[in-house]
Amino acid sequence: MITVVIIVLAVLVVTAVLLVSTSIRVLREYERGVVFRLGRAVPSRGPGLVVLMPVLDRMVRVSLRTVTLQIPAQEIITRDNIPARVTAVAYYRVVDAAKSVLEIENVRAATSQVAQTTLRSVLGKVDLDSLLSERETLNEHLQHIIDDQTEPWGVKVTAVEIKDVEIPDRMQHAIARQAEAERERRGKIIAAEGEFQAAARLNDAAEVISQNPVTIQLRYLQTLIEVSGNQSSTIVFPLPIDVLKPLVASAEERQTSQTSRTTAGGEEGQRKKLNEALAAAQAVLRRSVPNGRADQLDRGTAEQPDRGTAEQPDAGTADQPGRGTADQPQQSNPS
């Protein structure tokens, strides 16, 4: 009989220990417990020691820590019809343990699917330049959209980050060429602005120098002093145009005088040749006509010394020989 009593007491003690062990739970600081009593939800418990009614209560642990969700790579086509492969990461945490258990079966899987679809829809509405340069704006936009969809589940999406954007190699080369052209354009614009400012400064300096012409000479001398310090340099001395003007004028005067002397010498040479031709013609006439007619011819040419060399061949030599040769046969026929 005593043995039976001891066995019964031992069974009761073991049963009590089992009941106590199943009814007592300890929740950590970042955990909450959703308790179901006979299938109905009661207010959440935790953190710390939680006592449940044996057999009647069942508790589900929910972690409130931030979860890192790796979004799988998504193949998208941007607004400017460029294919790209985008990977992202999302951060979320449970803010309402009861809703995360009652409203959704699997919080992690549901949040992942929402993030994937939202990533495709949002990034498909922007062009490639915005996708590469405006990531912060896109991250905020994605975070707001995903958070609005997961809020009924008691889930708060704290951040969404676009981690990587992969584009085809040919598009990478095209973007590199575009960036190089853009840098060249900016360089040319900066150089043009510098030349414009330098021209404005030079204009101001020219106005100051024009007030006193000696200033430019002093500037030349100062430049020579600065350049002469380097022995291996070649010195180019600029000569003002004002200095060259008198030299050019004197050269033009000398050329004009030489041209005039050459013209005068040519006229004298022509006159000399005409006189020589006239003398030769007279000598031929003297040999071809009688003595009396030659004397008349000499007197005719002597009476007209002032008519010039150009008129003598026409009046003295051309007409008289014609008359002399024409009259001579008339005088010889009667005899």
Q: What is the pLDDT of residues 46-71, one digit of tens each?
A: 888 888 888 788 889 999 999 999 99
Q: What is the pTM of this model?
A: 0.53
Q: Quick one: tokens of 226?
A: 């600065």
Rounded to 5°, angle at Cα 333 from 319 and 335: 120
Residue 237: both structure tokens together: 């001395």
**pLDDT exceeds cutoff 90 at 109:** yes
Read off the pLDDT of each residue in 164-192 and give the average, rounded to a whole number: 89
Per-residue pLDDT, averaged over 122-151, amounts to: 91
Rounded CA separation 257/57 (Å): 133
- Residues 173 and 176: their CA atoms lie apart, in Å, by 5
Radius of gyration of the chain (CA): 62
Q: Which residues contact 250 (CB under 8 A, 6 or more apart)?
A: none
Residue with tokens 């220990």, as numbered in its chain: 17
What percentage of the chain reaches a pLDDT higher than 90?
A: 26
H helix or E strand, kind and range, residue 35: strand 31-37
Give the per-residue pLDDT at 117: 93
